[in-house]
């Protein structure tokens, strides 16, 4: 006799037959199993924290969804279109999700829904702090008709944003989520290539899929590949702006779809991260990107009326100053040379630097701060409590950009007047991390600039010993990655620099100039999960003698 289907009562399983109709209510199918068993389509005993089947076979159990987020097997098999309901209730109904016929198995559909309900709200950019609908609407709508975007969405949905450090350290290729993520990412690349060959992928689609690729590479720790994707995306955005300008001058109908402002601003923030990581091209390229950011800027008001206005203006100021500084670095080091100080070290500019341009950017940073004060004051009142988190993130973004740029404008003596700003970065970061309810670090990965880059600026660009020790302490207590920057590698580099710089020091607040070690390169090897860090340190008591320093740091080691 054939085995009874799962979910049928014991009496029926034993072979009893009769005219009585089977009742699913008495013995319903188990639809609350662990994610691993669901994907493998096997029965789960629902043991916690890990089911016995996963333990017996020696595989990682991916745990369970909350009841309100479960997707039943019956719903997976209905060939109907569904409404995507984003986690952000303030947004209107967005679009119709692809029907299940567009998915090859239940796992693909499951991770697509996981992206829609959980991952999309976690992915954010500078404009997301002000309710951008990029990830929860624009990307999902594009996935309706573009297979390359849909596969990339599924790949990112399979990533575990809440446990990024374990994903990086274990490298377990038997993990079902990892297998889905890499398989779908590969399919997205193949689909994009095929679409380009067939000439059916428009510019807007290429921009969106590049953004998704950059996000995936950031999560996986492939910074060089992520930077390449971001740079390619910014070039496509520039191409779009040139096409648009040409069409406007000729009064022609637009040949390409509208590129939403949220896409442009998301790339602006991602581009800041890429420049901070050390992405460097020709002077002409940086000048063009700087001019594009300057052209997109509106005159700074005396007072910002909205947080969105302040955030977008700030992103363009920081982006313009980054590109301008890199044109100056190209005059100091050849583009192909390895002797290149990363941006977080601050811009040590030569004496012949154009003071007028330096003053322009410094003035803009300071004018922005003045215009932001009214928004910042409102956010700190009981009435503005709901806006405090997003407003504080924008404030942190300004502090990191301003402190970085000021570290190169000022000499070592003048830069010491920024101690109050250094302490504010630490205070704001810890406040945000300790907020009750939904914190800015509920997950261990995000594509956004939140607390890691501002704290990294404090630890790298300034040599205030107490603040630097505080940054090392904060990073030692969390394993987190934000875009291209993570606490594991950054903490180890800052600690290495501090150890060499503070030899023989007693009660000095700042490291003396003749003891400073400047990091000149950080070359990562994804195969060994390591980074070779090189730097140059002055010989204490001399004016020109230096020592070459280097160390290898492994990402997957806690020490």
Q: Over pLDDT 70: what percentage of the chain? A: 73
pLDDT, residue 378, reads 93
User: Domain residues for 58?
Assistant: 33-63
Given a cut of 50, whether residue 86 has pLDDT beyond it is no
pLDDT, residue 14, reads 40
Tokens of 25: 């209510």
Q: Which residues contact 200 (CB under 8 A, 6 or more apart)?
A: none
Region 309-329: mean pLDDT is 88
Region 459-468: mean pLDDT is 92
Of 199, 210, 198, 110, the C-alpha closest to 152 is 210
What is the tens place of the pLDDT at every residue in 116-165?
988 888 886 444 554 568 888 899 999 999 999 999 999 999 998 888 87
Q: Which band of pLDDT confidence, cut at 50, 70 and 90, is reported for residue 528?
A: confident
- When mean pLDDT is compared over 37-51, 230-244, 373-387, the highest value belongs to 373-387
Tokens of 372: 């932001």
Query: 58: alpha, beta or left, given left = phi > 0 and alpha = psi -120 to 50?
Result: left
| Residue of higher predicted confidence among 361 and 125 | 361
Contact 135, 123 (CB under 8 A): yes
**Mean of the per-residue pLDDT values for the chain?**
78
189 in any annotated domain? no
Q: 86-100, 125-139, 420-434: which range is least confident on average?
A: 86-100
**In Å, how far are 52, 63, 355 from 272, measured between CA atoms?**
47, 36, 23
**Angle between helices 261-277 and 203-219 in degrees, nearest 10:** 40
Q: Which residues contact 96 (CB under 8 A, 6 or more apart)?
A: 81, 82, 83, 84, 144
Interatomic CA distance for residues 157 and 151, integer angstroms: 10
Given a cut of 60, whether residue 93 has pLDDT beyond it is no
Given a cut of 70, whether residue 340 has pLDDT beyond it is no
What is the tens place of the pLDDT at every residue in 303-314?
999 998 999 899
Region 244-256: mean pLDDT is 60
Q: 6-20, 268-282, 390-404, 523-537: which range is least confident on average?
A: 6-20
pLDDT, residue 229, reads 95
CATH number at residue 45: 4.10.240
38 in any annotated domain? yes
Question: How many domains is the chain built from?
Answer: 1
Q: Over pLDDT 90: what percentage of the chain? A: 35
Could you give the angle at the alpha carbon of 272 between the alpha carbons of 335 and 434, nearest 5°? 140
The contacts found for 484-489 with CB under 8 angstroms, 24 or more apart, are 484/218, 484/223, 484/226, 484/227, 484/273, 484/274, 484/276, 484/277, 485/273, 485/276, 485/277, 485/452, 485/453, 485/456, 486/221, 486/452, 486/555, 487/452, 488/165, 488/555, 489/531, 489/553, 489/555
pLDDT, residue 255, reads 47
37 in any annotated domain? yes
Interatomic CA distance for residues 184 and 461, integer angstroms: 39
50 in any annotated domain? yes
Strand partners, 554: 530
Strands 546-554 and 530-538: antiparallel
Interatomic CA distance for residues 344 and 410, integer angstroms: 15
pLDDT, residue 422, reads 95
40 in any annotated domain? yes
Q: 112-116, 153-157, 239-243, 319-323: which range is least confident on average?
A: 239-243
Strand partners, 552: 532
Strand partners, 517: 537
pLDDT, residue 40, reads 63
Q: Which residues contact 360 (CB under 8 A, 6 or more apart)?
A: none
| Residue of higher predicted confidence among 37 and 98 | 37
Interatomic CA distance for residues 436 and 483, integer angstroms: 24
Residues 46-77, buried b or exposed e (16+ Cβ, 10 A)?
eeeeebebbeeeebbbbebbeeeeebeeeebe
Interatomic CA distance for residues 201 and 93, integer angstroms: 26
Q: Kindly compute the dihedral angle of the four CA atoms of residues 285, 290, 293, 299, in this order, to the nearest 10 degrees.
A: -160
Contact 321, 361 (CB under 8 A): yes
Interatomic CA distance for residues 484 and 494, integer angstroms: 16
Q: Which band of pLDDT confidence, cut at 50, 70 and 90, is reported for residue 99?
A: low
Considering the entire predicted model, what is its pTM?
0.76
pLDDT, residue 467, reads 96
Region 509-514: mean pLDDT is 88
| Residue of higher predicted confidence among 482 and 18 | 482
41 in any annotated domain? yes
Interatomic CA distance for residues 140 and 125, integer angstroms: 16
Which stretch of DSSP H or E encloses residue 442?
none
């Amino acid at each position: 006799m054939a085995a009874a289907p799962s979910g049928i009562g014991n009496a029926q399983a034993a072979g009893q037959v009769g005219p009585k109709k089977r009742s699913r209510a008495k013995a319903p199918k188990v639809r609350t199993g662990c994610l691993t068993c669901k994907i493998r389509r096997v029965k789960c005993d629902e043991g916690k924290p890990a089911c016995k089947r996963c333990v017996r076979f020696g595989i990682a159990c991916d745990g369970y969804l909350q009841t309100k987020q479960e997707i039943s097997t019956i719903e997976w098999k209905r060939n109907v279109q569904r409404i995507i309901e984003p986690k952000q209730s303030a947004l209107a109904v967005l679009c119709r999700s692809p029907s299940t016929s567009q998915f090859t198995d239940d796992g693909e559909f499951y991770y697509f829904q996981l992206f829609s309900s959980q991952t999309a709200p976690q992915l954010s950019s500078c404009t997301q702090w002000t309710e951008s609908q990029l990830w929860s609407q624009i990307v999902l709508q594009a996935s309706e008709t573009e297979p390359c975007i849909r596969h990339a969405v599924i790949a990112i949905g399979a990533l575990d944003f809440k446990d990024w450090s374990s994903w990086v350290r274990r490298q377990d290729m038997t993990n079902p989520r990892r297998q889905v993520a890499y398989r779908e990412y590969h399919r997205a690349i193949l689909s994009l290539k095929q679409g380009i060959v067939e000439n059916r992928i428009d510019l807007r689609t290429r921009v969106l899929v590049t953004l998704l690729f950059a996000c995936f590479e950031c999560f996986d720790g492939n910074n060089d590949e992520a930077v390449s994707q971001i740079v390619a995306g910014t070039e496509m955005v520039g191409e779009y702006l040139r096409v648009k300008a040409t069409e406007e001058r000729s009064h022609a109908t637009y040949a390409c779809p509208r590129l939403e402002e949220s896409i442009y601003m998301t790339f602006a923030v991602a581009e800041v991260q890429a420049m901070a990581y050390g992405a460097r091209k020709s002077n002409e390229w940086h000048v063009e990107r700087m001019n594009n950011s300057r052209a997109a800027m509106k005159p700074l008001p005396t007072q910002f009326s909205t947080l969105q206005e302040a955030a977008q203006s700030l992103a363009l100021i920081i982006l313009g100053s980054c590109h301008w500084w890199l044109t100056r670095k190209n005059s100091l080091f050849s583009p192909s040379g390895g002797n290149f100080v990363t941006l977080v070290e601050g811009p040590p500019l030569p004496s012949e630097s154009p003071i007028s341009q330096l003053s322009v950017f410094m003035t803009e940073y300071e004018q922005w701060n003045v215009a932001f004060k009214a928004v910042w004051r409102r956010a700190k009142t009981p009435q503005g409590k709901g806006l405090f988190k997003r407003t504080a993130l924008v404030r942190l973004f300004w502090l990191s950009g301003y402190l970085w740029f000021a570290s190169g404008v000022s000499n070592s003596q003048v830069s010491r007047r920024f101690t109050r700003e250094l302490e504010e970065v630490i205070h704001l970061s810890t406040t945000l991390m300790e907020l009750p309810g939904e914190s800015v670090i509920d997950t261990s990965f995000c594509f956004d600039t939140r607390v890691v880059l501002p704290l990294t600026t404090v630890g790298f660009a300034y040599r205030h010993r107490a603040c630097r020790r505080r940054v090392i302490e904060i990073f030692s207590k969390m394993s987190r990655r934000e875009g291209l920057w993570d606490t594991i590698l950054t903490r180890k580099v800052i600690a290495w620099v501090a150890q060499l710089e503070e030899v023989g020091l007693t009660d000095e607040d700042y490291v003396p100039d003749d003891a400073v070690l400047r990091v000149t390169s950080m070359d990562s090897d994804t195969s060994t999960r390591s980074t070779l860090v090189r730097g140059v340190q002055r010989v204490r008591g001399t004016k020109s003698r230096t020592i070459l320093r280097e160390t290898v740091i492994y990402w997957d080691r806690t020490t």
